Amino acid sequence: MRGINRRTVLVLTVALSASVAPMAFAEDAELTVFDWSGYEAPEFHPGYISKNGDSPTFTFFGDEEEAFQKIRSGFKTDLAHPCSQSVVKWREAGLLEPLDTSKIEGWKDMNPAIMAMKDLATTADGTAWFMPWDWGNTLLTYNSEKVDPADIKSLKSLADPKFKDRVSIGDNVDDAYALASLAIGLKDWTQMTDAQFAEASAFLREVHKNVRLYWTDNTEIVQAMSGGEVDLAWAWNDAAVQSALAGAPIKSTRDTAEGLSTWVCGYVRLKGAPGNADKAYDYLNAINAPEVASFLLSDWGYGHADAKSMAAIDPAVVAAQGYADVDKFVDKTLFQSPVPSELKQKMIAEFEKIKSGY
């Protein structure tokens, strides 16, 4: 399976070091990127390597709350890779440094729909805080040799007793409550009432009865599904794409009655960044290249926020990954936009209880 051995080592190391300093994959000491495991792949930044002779140093987090707490506690990094639901929280906590968009070559080529998301990339005064980069879905993913598509027409199938010990969802509070919100018929989780929160949490407790494992990153869920450990999952696009590349019968479906979740992730500069600022912009420019967009789409199943780079990809590849019709791509979707901080804390606390069986 391509890339799996190196990523497996990273996953195990991250798991062992979750309560201490983030694990570092050290190369260029003048730039540190705090990221999800797997994004250190050189195919994501060939231009940076060509210009600077090496990859940046990468450190890894398992979820955005972990990353937020580590940075707030004093961990120093130059760039980080949060997603749409976390950017406002990080900015309001004073963790971010504004971006100098004049140094980002593809800034004007960003997808207009993504850039229009309220307070995501820029604030009302025009200050840029976040460079959108990858976007995609969390959606129902299944082993096509073991699961009948007729049995998974609803997200509620994840709680069906017939799938006991055959299910996996992410150890990620945002994806979990996106799933639960959709399952109870809620498309805008920013307006979630106390009653809806209780209903969503009750659904996650039913799903928990079927969960064999809570996956922590793309490597773990790809291995679990490709190896037959689980047959049905709530997972990112790359789980099906990378499993299929490895020859496993794993597919994803957009045809559930309740829909799916859509997220946008990207890069921020951190206040007090210790590294080389010019190299930070070298990296941001490198990851916007057309060949990077092609790799991101074909090997990971994610869209690239640079519309010009996406337009340079073979239309057949774009269509094969479902991005040819963006309106259809986001149909019946819950956008993972920022939720009120009080609600987010409730979600975090409740999800921990659910995973523990309470």
Helices (H) and strands (E) in the chain, counts: 15, 13
* Band of residue 304 on the pLDDT scale cut at 50, 70, 90: very high
Q: Judge whether 220 and 11 are in contact, CB under 8 Å.
A: yes
For residues 342-351, give the mean pLDDT.
95
* Band of residue 23 on the pLDDT scale cut at 50, 70, 90: low
Which amino acid does the sequence have at 310? Answer: M
**What are the chain's domains?**
4-135+262-326 (3.40.190.10), 137-261+334-355 (3.40.190.10)
CA distances from 37 to 60, 227, 311 (A): 6, 20, 27
**What pLDDT is attached to residue 48?**
97
**What pLDDT is attached to residue 117?**
78
* Helix ranges restricted to H, the chain: 4-16, 46-52, 64-72, 84-92, 112-115, 173-183, 194-208, 218-226, 237-245, 277-286, 290-300, 307-311, 315-320, 326-329, 341-355
**What pLDDT is attached to residue 25?**
58
For residues 291-300, give the mean pLDDT.
95
* Band of residue 337 on the pLDDT scale cut at 50, 70, 90: confident
- Judge whether residue 7 has pLDDT over 70: no
Q: By C-alpha distance, which of 65, 349, 341 is closest to 190?
A: 341
**What pLDDT is attached to residue 100?**
97
Which amino acid does the sequence have at 200? Answer: A
Which region among 8-12, 30-34, 283-287, 341-345 has the lowest average model confidence (pLDDT)? 8-12
Mean pLDDT of the chain: 90
Find residue 320's DSSP bridge partners. Answer: none
Read off the DSSP letter of residue 27: S
- Judge whether residue 21 has pLDDT over 50: no
Which amino acid does the sequence have at 114? Answer: I
**What pLDDT is attached to residue 113?**
83
For residues 107-124, give the mean pLDDT.
85
Q: Judge whether 36 and 61 are in contact, CB under 8 Å.
A: yes
**What pLDDT is attached to residue 12?**
33
Q: What percent of the chain has pLDDT over 70?
A: 93
- Judge whether residue 71 has pLDDT over 80: yes
For residues 52-75, give the mean pLDDT.
94
Torsion-angle region of 195 (φ positive above 0: left; ψ -120 to 50: alpha; else: beta): alpha
- Judge whether residue 225 has pLDDT over 60: yes
Q: How far apart are CA 82 and CA 173, in angstroms?
A: 14
**What pLDDT is attached to residue 13?**
35
pLDDT, tens digit, for every residue of 150-159? 999 999 999 9
- Judge whether residue 323 has pLDDT over 90: no
Which region among 48-52, 119-123, 209-213 has the lowest average model confidence (pLDDT)? 119-123
At residue 263, the 3 state secondary structure works out as strand
- Judge whether residue 61 has pLDDT over 50: yes
Which amino acid does the sequence have at 55? Answer: S
CA distances from 132 to 52, 91, 121 (A): 23, 15, 7
Q: By C-alpha distance, which of 239, 222, 37, 233 is closest to 136?
A: 239
**What pLDDT is attached to residue 26?**
61
**What pLDDT is attached to residue 122?**
87
- Judge whether residue 334 has pLDDT over 60: yes
